[in-house]
Amino acid sequence: MARKTTTDDPLAPVTLAVGQEELLLDRAVQQVVAAARAADPDTDVRDLMPDALQPGTLAELTSPSLFAERKVVVVRNAQDLSADTIKDVKGYLGTPAEEITLVLLHAGGAKGKGLLDAARKAGAREVACPKMTKPADRLAFVRSEFRATGRSATPEACQALVDAIGSDLRELASAVSQLVADVESTIDEAVVARYYTGRAEASSFTVADRAVEGRAAEALEALRWAVSTGVPPVLITSALAQGVRSIGKLASAPRGARPGDLARELGMPPWKIDRVRQQMRGWSADGVAIALRAVAEADAGVKGGGDDPEYALEKAVVTIARAARAGRR
């Protein structure tokens, strides 16, 4: 029976990459291949989809070589393997071959769970590759990308990059690489804006930020750019609602509390507490109520309750900006 191990050695006999985030799955494979080729530049890599792995194929790929060459066998979408092939893989897990690394990429769901459990029981090295659906997860990913390069980026810069690029991890990773390669100093929000001006201005959060700051003209300009570049109206109303609610939450929080304490209580990162504090100057309780009603009307308008979603958004932006300025008079 295979020796159980908790090693993080990429050259472990079996690596199990679990999840549905394609970039992370590819990186898990690349890490194993790089380690194998560092040990033997002539490593043979076989990258297979389920339909290419028929019963008996794995035995052929993992049979002893006359020249004892190192080999990496990658099986993608392992949850989709046929029942007979899964039997082959389970049998191999008990007696993995020398100089061969098997990499199983599994979606992690109920389908093919027997294979997943067998690999874990056999002591496979496991790499988590979860789908990053939450903005907080993507923000953490960007931060980790900068840390991996040994470079410094401010929290505001990381957030601006996520706002500008969106949910595609490959594009986020590429953007971090470009910034690190081109910028020698600390990467801040101004640097991100300079490199990704068009995309950042199209962000729904940029529209919301300008509106709650009372900058109606800039908010409308950002809104028109966002709409013209295909940002869904529902994302813009969501960002507007989040911006107004953040001001309402912070306005009702105890005065004098530290940003860290407020962050935990309100569910915001500390850097956002500082930003919202700057944005809330001029706001009143009545203004927050007016702005929230405007957002609700816009939300109904973009979801079929009105004839012109863009007009509904423009009206909400102007109302929010006026509410933000009302307390300054």
Which spans in 50-202 are helix H?
A: 57-61, 83-94, 113-121, 135-149, 155-165, 169-182, 189-195, 197-201
Q: If residue 71 lies in a helix (H) or strand (E), which one and from where to where?
A: strand 71-75
The residues that bridge with 153 in the sheet, in sequence order, are 187
Q: What pLDDT shows up at residue 256?
A: 65
Residue 327 pLDDT level (bands cut at 50, 70, 90): low
The residue type at 254? P
Q: Which residues does 23 contact at the CB level (< 8 Å), separation at least 6? A: 169, 170, 173
Tens digit of each residue's pLDDT (9 = 90 or more) over 58-78? 999 888 765 667 899 999 999
Neighbour tally for 97: CB within 10 Å: 17
14 closest CA partner among 128, 110, 92, 80: 92
* pLDDT value at residue 5: 43
Rounded average pLDDT over 10-34: 93
Tokens found for residue 213: 């700051």
Q: Is 136 exposed, middle or buried (0-12, 13-18, 19+ CB in 10 A)?
A: exposed
User: What tokens appear for 224 in the block?
Assistant: 């028109």
CB-CB contact of 72 with 101 (8 Å): yes
Q: What is the pTM assigned to this prediction?
A: 0.60
Write the Ramachandran bin of 201: left for phi over 0, alpha for psi from -120 to 50, otherwise beta: alpha
Q: Which tokens is 196 given?
A: 């990704």
| CA angle centred on 259, ends 157 and 208, rounded to 5° | 50
* pLDDT at residue 269 tops 70: no
